[in-house]
Structures are given as C-alpha cells and as structure tokens.
Amino acid sequence: MGINNIWVFAQEANGAPSSNTLELLTKAGALGGSVSAFVVGDASNIAAALGQYGATKVYSTGDLGGQLPGVAGAAAMKAVIDGGDSPDLIMFPQNYEGRDVMSRLSVKLDRTVLTNNVDVAVDGDAVKVTTPVFGGETMVTTTFTGSGPFLAAFRPKSFEAVAGAGGAGEVVSAPVPDLGAAGGAKVTAVHVEESTGPKLDEAAIVVSGGRGLGEKDKFAMVDDLAKILKGAAGASRAIVDAGWVPYSMQVGQTGKVVKPNVYIACGISGATQHMVGMKGSKHIIAINKDQEAPIFGVADLGIVGDVHKVMPKLIEALRGR
C-alpha cells in the first residue's frame, strides 16, 4: 500500500512553471511514489521543465479557449480519476486558481480538503499535513481519514524547489468534458497588474513599510530604497487597508509569503499576522522607534530610530556608493 501516486496542480507563469509548482513537485518527489503534474491549459511550454522537477507524466487539458480554469480543471481531473487513473494525493498551491479547482473537485469526489498547509508527511498509508494556526504561533498536524484522493493546498514557499535529473514528462491528454451550463461563463479579458522590478514573492531583497511611515506620501522612501537595492516593495496590512498601497503589496497571513535574503521592515510593529508572511527571511532588518516593538524579536539587525531620519540617510548613503 502506501502513497504510490501523487498529482501536483501545475501552473505556468511567463512561459515557465510557477515557483509554487516547482516547490510542490520537489516535495511530492520526496514523499515517494510516482509524481504527475496536472496542467489546466496547454502544457507544451512547460512539460520539459515539469519533468526536470520530477513529473514523469504531465496531464494537460489543452488550451481552455476562454473557459474558467476552476470549472474546467475540476471536471478534467474528475474525468481522469473516473477513468481509473486515480492519485492517492493531489497537492494544490494555496492561491486563487488552486483553491478554485480543489474546492470544485472536492464536491465532485465527495472528499474533504485541508487548506493552508506548510508541510506534508506520509506514514504508511496515512497522509499528514501541518497547518499554522493563531498567526503561526501553533502548528496543527492533521491526518486524512477515509480513502483518497486526499486534497491538500500548501502555502507558497513551504518547500524548496530543487531540479532533479528527470527527462521531459510524458504529456497525456486530459480533455475537458462537456461542462453543461457550468461552462457558460467565459474569460473575456485578463488584466495584468503593471509592475517594475522583481516580483514581491520572488525578490532577493524586500523593503516593506508600515503605519510608522506616518502618511501615504512617505511610502516613496520604501519604493526608493527597494529600487536602489534592486528589490521589491512590500507593506503591512495597516497601510493597505488605509489605501496607501494596493493589496498586491501586502505581506502576511492574508497577503503574500516572502522569503528573501534580506527583509527590511520600516515602521512595522511585527504583529503575528505580518510576521507569518516574512519570518522565514534569511536576514531581517527592522527600523522602528519603539525598542519594545515585536518585530525586533525576529530581527537580526534592529535600528531603534525614526524612519523619517534613518531612511533618508540610508538612501543617501546607498546612492553615494
């Protein structure tokens, strides 16, 4: 028995597998058994890379022709499972598309889902997942009961992506069956948020600002510092809620998880909900005028001072290099 067959819900980003996908494939490979990637869309651009990260089989629905990925993906997965090629475990990324497909598949298969996980282990026939609760203060381990396929979603950056020596995965067609009325909704346009510089969740350096900046215009200091360091700018929820910066910049429990080499928190208190999104960073630098601020509890380098004095000096010094 044991877990013999694992699927990973695979996504493309700019012509390559997304970082989430590669992280999940690497972890799936470490659990033992065979690993397949399931691409809801055309897999031709990414099948080779998926193979390199351990997928021996790449299911692909082919181009969706404007169908919604959630509806089409769940139906295509169900069709393969009904055809007898059923996995023991399906690993999804904890993002919009992953959750959409997973929840619809959960209904179709009448199987429960476990979401927001940061780890998974296999013990004989049992699959156990680990989930942070209370803002990451406590870890809960849950074991799936009943029969598979077990459906689990994982937070980004839970695992390290490591390329193996695998060849290109064998591409297997997994066409979308007739969706009936559910297939009526169509994607008519896709808007990509404009951004310059590295992506927040992939940048090697992240500079984040919080309410301690005092006012919206002062976020320019965070942008400047991020630009000089060739990093990305992030934010606490307090200033996202205040409308200073868009939600796409939010770091934390209900925002993005980042693990850069260097994270610089400027005027951020270090609430657990913020820290759960950045405490895995290699080096943390905090600038805060309150020496009791919780962010100093995780900082490798703490600067007790006013952001309006420290940041301009830092920017000036870096510009002068």
DSSP labels for 231-266? -EEEE-HHHHHTTSS-GGGBBSTTSB----SEEEEE
User: CA-CA distances (angstroms) from residue 299 to 137, 269, 279, 302?
Assistant: 17, 12, 9, 6
Q: Is residue 314 within the footprint of ligand FAD (CB under 6 A)?
A: no
Please, which residue, 69 or 212, has the CB nearer to ligand FAD? Answer: 212
17 phi, psi to nearest 5 deg: -60, 145
User: Minimum Å distance from CB 154 to ligand FAD?
Assistant: 17
Q: How many helices (H) and strands (E) does the chain have?
A: 8, 17
Q: Which stretch binds ligand FAD (CB under 6 A): 9-17, 50-58, 114-122, 249-257?
A: 249-257
Contact 75, 176 (CB under 8 A): yes
Q: Is residue 315 within the footprint of ligand FAD (CB under 6 A)?
A: no
Q: Is residue 293 within the footprint of ligand FAD (CB under 6 A)?
A: yes
Residues 199-218 that bind ligand FAD (CB under 6 A): 210-212
Residues 135-174 that bind ligand FAD (CB under 6 A): none
Q: Which stretch binds ligand FAD (CB under 6 A): 90-98, 155-163, 188-196, 261-269?
A: 261-269
Gap between the Cα atoms of 174 and 72, Å rounded: 11
Q: Which stretch binds ligand FAD (CB under 6 A): 108-116, 167-175, 221-229, 271-279?
A: 271-279
**Continuous segment of H or E residues that includes residue 52:** helix 47-52
User: Minimum Å distance from CB 137 to ligand FAD?
Assistant: 13
**Continuous segment of H or E residues that includes residue 24:** helix 19-30
Q: Is residue 268 within the footprint of ligand FAD (CB under 6 A)?
A: yes
Structure tokens at 175: 């066409």
Handedness of CA 198, 23, 146, 148 (dihedral sign): positive
Q: Is residue 304 within the footprint of ligand FAD (CB under 6 A)?
A: no
Contact 223, 313 (CB under 8 A): no
Q: Is residue 269 within the footprint of ligand FAD (CB under 6 A)?
A: yes
Among 41, 73, 149, 252, binds ligand FAD (CB under 6 A): 252
Please, which residue, 101 or 287, has the CB nearer to ligand FAD? Answer: 287
Structure tokens at 42: 């055309």
Q: Is residue 298 within the footprint of ligand FAD (CB under 6 A)?
A: no
Q: Which stretch binds ligand FAD (CB under 6 A): 31-39, 145-153, 174-182, 246-254?
A: 246-254
Q: How many residues bind ligand FAD (CB under 6 A)?
A: 28
User: Minimum Å distance from CB 159 to ligand FAD?
Assistant: 21
Q: Which stretch binds ligand FAD (CB under 6 A): 121-129, 173-181, 186-194, 270-278?
A: 270-278
- Per-residue burial over 39-56, b if 16 or more Cβ lie within 10 Å, else e, is bbbebeebbbbbbbbbbb
Burial of 266 per CB tally in 10 Å (0-12, 13-18, 19+): buried
Residues 59-118 that bind ligand FAD (CB under 6 A): none
User: Where do contacts with ligand FAD occur on this chain (CB under 6 A)?
Assistant: 210-212, 236-239, 250-255, 267-269, 271, 273-274, 277, 287-290, 293, 306-308
